[in-house]
């Protein structure tokens, strides 16, 4: 507990030191970045295989919980005659969210479809030799939004490749690798026990504003802690607007400082739940089977034992986050105790926006030696911790990843 209090004190000193913009404060609820620079790789290397993992694209809110909870509080304030003019305005926003999402909670929307089409189009342009006459295996989790993301992606690939063979599968058989958070019993225990909760609760108590009081009214019957929780729910509703095709107009309801503080609460919770930390490595350990599968399939391609040129997977933020944390990719893994500066080490918006993706590209040199290029959200990253190279011998990366997946 002493460490937690020290960390929170440091956090309070630093929270106002750096303000993130409104798009960044959407966190992992924000759409995929619209402008992605085209990367390059050495002309001497010939791409021969690609492993891909993608998060589903932008969607309607995952469930009705946040909107319904906010609406219930606003209607209560209305009945008590404490609701403010701003509260009535926000109630209209919530009503629109619920109307648009009715029958579609958690489903992929048109923005999400377009995100995956764009990623597929750029992939086909960057690696035409893998798709013209190529054999592509594609797998999705059982979630409809992941399945529709896969279909949007592969359909776009088919429009930009000649004589491509596409094989698509989905369902519970892929849960061990694509939904390990559903089937790993140790992780389920971790989520039930919440060993990180005392740190998180102290943080929320110290940092979260009571912005919801401006909606509900000064005399609305709620404790400070309850107003903080309602403010976090208010944040969630606002941050998800852009992904579902609505205007993300936070300014009438939150100051930028409040938006930052509420995002930081959401960011801290994501961090503890889905990445390795000083509290536990279990959240990332659950993706060891997936990392082993990526290594095995890439090695088979390097050995010439497979005719598959691309292996595509479509899943969730809860799949991507632990995997890239286990891989220890830059900005994806932090195991220190400086939670006060967490965003300087780990920020969800830089790792898993909607349609986030990891690409492992196997290339062959004229000498016959294989190299690997790793892309996170279509940008090259240095895949070996402490090594600045973005193109590395496959044998080195293979052995490094196998050591992490033990």
Q: What is the Cα–Cα distance from 395 to 152, expressed in whole angstroms? A: 34
**DSSP-based three-state secondary structure for 145:** helix
pLDDT of residue 38: 74
d(CA 324, CA 319): 9
Q: What is the β-pairing status of strands 46-55 and 357-364?
A: antiparallel
366: left (phi over 0), alpha (psi -120 to 50) or beta: alpha
Neighbouring residues of 99: CB distance < 8 A, sequence distance ≥ 6: none
Side-chain half-sphere CA neighbours of 171 within 13 A: 3
User: Measured at the alpha carbon of residue 12, what is the angle toward residues 354 and 249, in degrees to the nearest 5?
Assistant: 40
pTM of the model: 0.94
Name the β-bridge partners of 168: 138
Q: DSSP characters for 74-100?
A: HHHHHHHT---HHHHHHHHHHHHHHHH
Cα–Cα dist 282/276, whole Å = 7
Longest CA span, the chain: 77
Residue given tokens 């609505």 in the structure block: 246
Residue 143 makes CB contacts below 8 A (sequence gap 6+) with: 56, 106, 179, 315, 316
- DSSP class of residue 358 equals E
Residue 10 confidence (pLDDT): 47
Q: What is the pLDDT along the chain (406 residues), one digit of tens a residue?
A: 444 444 444 444 445 446 899 999 999 999 999 866 777 788 899 999 999 999 999 999 999 999 999 999 999 999 999 999 999 999 999 999 999 999 999 999 999 999 999 999 999 999 999 999 999 999 999 999 999 999 999 999 999 999 999 999 999 999 999 999 999 999 999 999 999 999 999 999 999 999 999 999 999 999 999 999 999 999 999 999 999 999 989 999 999 999 999 999 999 999 999 999 999 999 999 999 999 999 999 999 999 999 999 999 999 999 999 999 999 999 999 999 988 789 989 999 999 999 999 999 999 999 999 999 999 999 999 999 999 999 999 999 999 999 999 8
The Cα–Cα gap between 321 and 32 comes to 15
The interaxial angle of helices 85-101 and 65-80, nearest 10 deg, is 150
Residue 270 Cα distances to 29, 103, 342, 384, angstroms: 11, 27, 12, 24
pLDDT of residue 36: 64
Give the chain's domains with CATH numbers: 22-59+107-199+279-404 (3.40.50.1240)
316 close to 322: Cβ distance less than 8 angstroms = no
- The DSSP-derived string for 188-222 is HHHHHH-TTHHHHHHHHHHH---TTHHHH-TT-S-
DSSP bridge partners of 310:
50, 136
Sign of torsion over alpha carbons 143, 272, 334, 204: positive
Q: Are 377 and 39 in contact (CB under 8 A)?
A: no
The two structure tokens encoding residue 284: 């990332």
Strand partners, 55: 315
Q: How many CB atoms lie within 10 A of CB 297?
A: 19
The pair phi, psi for residue 384, each rounded to 5°, is -105, 120
pLDDT of residue 18: 61
> Residue 250: which of 5, 7, 54, 20 has the closest Cα?
20
């Amino acid at each position: 507990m002493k460490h937690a209090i020290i960390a929170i004190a440091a956090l309070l000193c630093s929270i106002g030191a750096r303000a993130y913009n409104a798009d960044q404060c959407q966190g992992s609820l924000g759409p995929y970045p619209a402008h992605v620079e085209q990367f390059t790789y050495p002309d001497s290397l010939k791409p021969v295989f690609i492993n891909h993992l993608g998060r589903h694209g932008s969607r309607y809110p995952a469930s009705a919980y946040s909107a319904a909870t906010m609406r219930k509080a606003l209607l209560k304030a209305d009945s008590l005659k404490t609701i403010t003019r701003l509260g009535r305005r926000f109630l209209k926003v919530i009503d629109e969210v619920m109307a648009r999402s009715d029958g579609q909670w958690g489903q992929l929307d048109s923005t999400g479809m377009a995100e995956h089409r764009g990623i597929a189009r750029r992939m086909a342009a960057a690696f035409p030799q893998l798709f013209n006459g190529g054999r592509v295996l594609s797998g999705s989790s059982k979630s409809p939004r992941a399945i529709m993301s896969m279909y949007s992606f592969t359909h776009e690939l088919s429009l930009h490749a000649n004589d491509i063979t596409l094989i698509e599968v989905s369902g519970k058989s892929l849960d061990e690798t694509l939904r390990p958070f559903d089937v790993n019993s140790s992780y389920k225990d971790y989520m039930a026990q919440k060993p990180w909760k005392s740190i998180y609760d102290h943080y929320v108590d110290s940092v979260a504003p009571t912005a919801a009081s401006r909606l509900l009214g000064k005399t609305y019957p709620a404790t400070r802690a309850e107003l903080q929780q309602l403010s976090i729910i208010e944040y969630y509703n606002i941050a998800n607007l852009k992904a579902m095709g609505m205007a993300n107009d936070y300014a009438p309801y939150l100051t930028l400082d409040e938006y930052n503080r509420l995002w930081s609460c959401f960011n801290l919770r994501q961090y503890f739940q889905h990445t390795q930390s000083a509290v536990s490595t279990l959240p990332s350990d659950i993706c060891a089977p997936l990392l082993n599968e990526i290594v095995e399939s890439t090695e088979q391609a390097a050995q010439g034992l497979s005719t598959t040129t691309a292996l595509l997977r479509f899943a969730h933020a809860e799949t991507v986050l632990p995997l890239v944390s286990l891989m220890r990719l830059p900005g994806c893994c932090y195991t220190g105790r400086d939670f006060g500066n967490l965003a300087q080490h780990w920020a969800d918006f830089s790792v898993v926006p909607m349609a986030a993706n990891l690409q492992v590209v196997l290339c062959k040199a004229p000498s016959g030696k294989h190299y690997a290029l790793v892309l996170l959200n279509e940008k090259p990253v240095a895949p070996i911790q402490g090594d600045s190279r973005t193109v590395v011998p496959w044998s080195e990366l293979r052995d490094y990843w196998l050591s992490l997946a033990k």
